[in-house]
């Protein structure tokens, strides 16, 4: 597996176009991977997940995870502030073990089904409960903070919109999760790391980023 860090030039007209239509962003990302026959599920075959982060100071970084090595030479000139940074994720996968505590970030699309329609969860308590439920399925738990609540912060992110073929509109209300988790089932957790968590994986959701746990819990 590979993780790419793209330091975006926010003045790039190509990035601004993609930022206004998440389906265009999806196509730009997928252009870094070999084309496949029409019958193949393109994104999932290459294992592509991505997320855009706005960092302090206005810097914009896009992270792209994939099972196939990417080729970013297709990106338009001046779309990046520095060359794409690609590193292997195998050392991370090999370090996963039961009981390991990690800091994480996840951009996700928490929803519930109401009369066959997917409804976004808007209350912070519901959003956190959604993540806790995903943890039970995907081999991790969210520990309790010193305040006695789950050690995670759920922050609403900017709405993602776009349009697919046949005028089908895309509307996603993502939530960014920042906090700590503890691995309980390495096999299930590794699968979640590789395949992503939740819905809208083609559109900037589902990528779980990990780092060593901070020494002092929030």
Q: What is the mean pLDDT of residues 118-125?
A: 95
Listing DSSP states for 172-183 in one string gives: E--EEEEEEEEE
Residue 202, CA distances (Å) to 24, 47, 179 in order:
11, 10, 24
Cα–Cα dist 2/90, whole Å: 8
- Rounded average pLDDT over 4-11: 96
**pTM surpassing 0.85?**
yes
- Interval 40-83: pLDDT, tens: 789 999 999 999 999 888 899 999 999 999 999 999 889 999 99
State the average pLDDT over residues 23-49: 92
């Amino acid at each position: 597996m590979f993780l790419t860090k793209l330091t975006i030039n926010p003045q790039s007209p190509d990035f601004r176009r993609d930022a206004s239509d998440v389906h265009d962003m999806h196509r730009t990302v997928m252009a870094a991977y070999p084309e496949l026959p029409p019958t193949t599920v393109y994104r999932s075959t290459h294992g592509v997940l991505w997320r855009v982060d706005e960092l302090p100071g206005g810097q914009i970084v896009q992270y792209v995870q994939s099972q196939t090595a990417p080729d970013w030479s297709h990106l338009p000139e001046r779309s990046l502030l520095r060359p794409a940074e690609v590193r292997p994720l195998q050392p991370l996968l090999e370090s996963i073990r039961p009981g390991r505590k990690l800091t994480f970030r996840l951009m996700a699309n928490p929803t519930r089904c109401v009369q066959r329609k997917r409804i976004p969860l808007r209350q912070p308590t519901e959003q956190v409960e959604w993540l806790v439920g995903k943890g039970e399925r995907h081999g991790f738990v969210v520990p309790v903070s010193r305040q006695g609540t789950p050690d995670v912060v759920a922050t609403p992110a900017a709405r993602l919109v776009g349009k697919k073929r046949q005028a089908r509109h895309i509307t996603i209300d993502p939530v960014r999760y920042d906090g700590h988790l503890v691995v309980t089932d390495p096999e299930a957790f590794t699968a979640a790391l590789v395949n992503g968590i939740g819905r809208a994986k083609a559109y900037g959701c589902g990528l779980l980023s990990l780092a060593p746990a901070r020494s002092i819990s929030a």
